[in-house]
Chain A
Amino acid sequence: MKDRRKGPISRAAGLAENMAATVRRMQREREPRVIVYDPSGYARLLQPEARGHARVMELAEDMVAHVSTEGEEAR
């Protein structure tokens, strides 16, 4: 069980820990990755070394680049 923080310094340390964990989680979520979801919503990670992973990443990068170019041309 997690110790309950009592003093103000302890509580501030707890807040800082939570913020750091949130930042780490957000960074992890933005890491390049491929996730596929089955009809029931169950998620599976396509491992980077798996066959076809590179092709999926390449296509997604092309799609993002396509839209980015579009935005630059519109300006």
Chain B
Amino acid sequence: MVETLTPERTPARLCELSADARAAVLLDAAGSLAGASDDDPARARALGELARELFEAVDKATRDWEVEPPQQVEVQVPGGAVFASRTPRWTLAVVARRAALSSLMLWDLRAVLGELDGAPPIRRARPAGIGRGPATDEQAAVDLPLPELGGDGGDGEPR
């Protein structure tokens, strides 16, 4: 049975998916902490507060830009990197290792937020031939660890 992703488990899920993620927090639309990869509540709250302030600072800095409000942020600093992604309901922020690949981290953030909003779960790729029958195109399509594209406005049906 497919386990539904809960807000509490979302940051830990991101850290499972990405080897470069060191700690993550999830905030709800009001900016309150909804989940954290850290078990210590005080530390989790502190990181959540910083994540909330980060998006506030980004919004303030980009207020005059004639574009839509940023959906994702990447900040590279000497000791590591911070990535954050938001939807109307959630904000997910992660502190990553310096070596983290931006495109992969941003993809993982979007994918996990999509999973939280009800998209099919992402599964780890497995070596071919382990615990299954002969490989087929249908099996490959089922195993592809990518969520469907066109989540906004698309009907999700293959064309």
Contacts and interface: CB of A to CB of B under 8 A. Distances in A.
Contacts of B46: 66
B78 A32 contact: yes
Contacts of A31: 76
Interface string B15-52: 00000001100000000000000101001001100110
A60 B82 contact: yes
B74 A37 contact: yes
B76 A30 contact: yes
Nearest to B101: A29
B22 A32 contact: no
Interface residues of B, number: 39
Interface string B72-113: 111111111110000000000101001000100010000000
B139 interface: no
Given A30-B76, A60-B82, A64-B79, A36 B70 contact: yes
Of B22, B51, B93, most A-chain CB atoms within 10 Å: B22
Contacts of B76: 29-33
Interface string B107-151: 000000000000000000000000000000000000000000000
Interface in A38-61: 38-39, 42, 44, 46, 50-53, 55-57, 59-61
Interface of A: 29-39, 42, 44, 46, 50-53, 55-57, 59-68, 70-71
25 contacts: A32-B76, A32-B77, A32-B78, A33-B74, A34-B61, A36-B62, A37-B74, A38-B70, A42-B67, A44-B62, A44-B65, A52-B57, A52-B58, A56-B54, A56-B57, A56-B61, A59-B53, A61-B77, A61-B78, A61-B79, A62-B50, A63-B51, A63-B82, A68-B79, A70-B40
